[in-house]
């Protein structure tokens, strides 16, 4: 028997409890946009965001990879996770449902950037390239860098690059919405808006 963490099921395969993602989608659907996220919960896709305009930098609960990893590939786990949920008893699943790598037989793990075993597969690199191309295209044009709820854990992925791109482009506007703090560096103050509020509340007023 193996232990199943049902949290993954609810995070990945149930609908997001709030309508924030849908509201955001309505806000930007007729614009040229790109979503860069450190979330791993697939909410943007579930809300109908164009997959070609998403870059999940830190992985995805919806994917498995070899835990070693012996090869750079990820595997969609939706049907397996649903079987686990259906067949679990007291949060334990039959042994044959414990996933193993089809190449080396090691246990599979979630495709999450928790340590240096994280697999950046082909789709990850394609999304990374799309994001870079988008950024390049808009580097001198009118653009809003909208930062939503970025915490202090990984500022190097979204926050700091947004500050730098805003600083280099006088046509850019930086908007930071955060529940606890919305710090704006002095250098980009004239181009920026900081909002300390719930993301749902703040964006419903746009
Ligand atoms: Zn393997």
- What b-and-e string marks burial along 37-48, b requiring 16 or more CB atoms within 10 Å of the CB? bbbbbbbbbbbe
**Beta-strand pair 192-196/172-178:** parallel
| Alpha carbon of 154 to ligand 1 centroid (Å) | 28
Residue 203 is inside which H or E element, if any? helix 199-204
72 φ/ψ angles, rounded to the nearest 5 degrees: -90, 65
In percent, how much of the chain has pLDDT > 70? 91
What are phi and psi for residue 27, nearest 5 degrees?
A: -65, -35
**Per-residue pLDDT averaged across 139-166, rounded?**
92
Q: Backbone dihedral region of 55: left (phi > 0), alpha (psi from -120 to 50 degrees) or beta?
A: beta
pLDDT for the residue 14: 54
Q: How confident is the model at residue 3 (pLDDT cuts 50, 70, 90)?
A: very low
Report the separation in Å between the CA atom of 109 and the middle of ligand 1, taken as the mean of its atom positions.
10
User: How far apart are the CA of 110 and the centre of ligand 1, in A?
Assistant: 13
Interval 60-86: pLDDT, tens: 988 999 999 999 999 999 899 999 999
Rounded CA-CA distance 31/147 in Å is 17
Chain segment 97-137, per-residue pLDDT in tens: 999 999 999 999 999 998 999 999 999 999 999 999 999 99
Query: What separation in Å is there between the alpha carbon of 101 and the centre of ligand 1?
Result: 5
Q: 40 alpha carbon to ligand 1 midpoint, in Å?
A: 22
């Amino acid at each position: 028997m193996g232990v199943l963490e049902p949290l993954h099921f609810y995070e990945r395969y149930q609908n997001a409890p709030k309508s924030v993602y849908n509201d955001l989608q309505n806000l930007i659907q007729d614009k040229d946009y790109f979503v860069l996220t450190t979330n791993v919960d697939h909410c943007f896709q579930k809300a109908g965001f164009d997959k070609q305009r998403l870059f999940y930098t830190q992985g995805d609960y919806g994917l498995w990879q070899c835990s070693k990893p012996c090869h750079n590939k990820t595997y969609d786990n939706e049907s397996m996770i649903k079987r686990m949920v259906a067949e679990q008893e007291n949060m334990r699943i039959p042994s044959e449902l414990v996933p193993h790598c089809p190449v080396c037989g090691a246990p599979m793990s979630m495709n999450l950037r928790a340590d240096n075993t994280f697999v950046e597969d082909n789709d990850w690199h394609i999304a990374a390239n799309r994001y870079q191309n988008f950024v390049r295209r808009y580097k001198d044009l009118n653009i809003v860098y909208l930062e939503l709820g970025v915490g202090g854990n990984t500022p190097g992925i979204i926050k700091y690059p947004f500050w730098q791109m805003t600083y280099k482009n006088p046509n850019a506007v930086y908007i930071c919405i955060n529940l606890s703090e919305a710090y704006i560096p002095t250098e980009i103050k004239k181009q920026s808006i900081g909002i300390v509020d719930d993301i749902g509340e703040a964006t419903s007023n746009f």
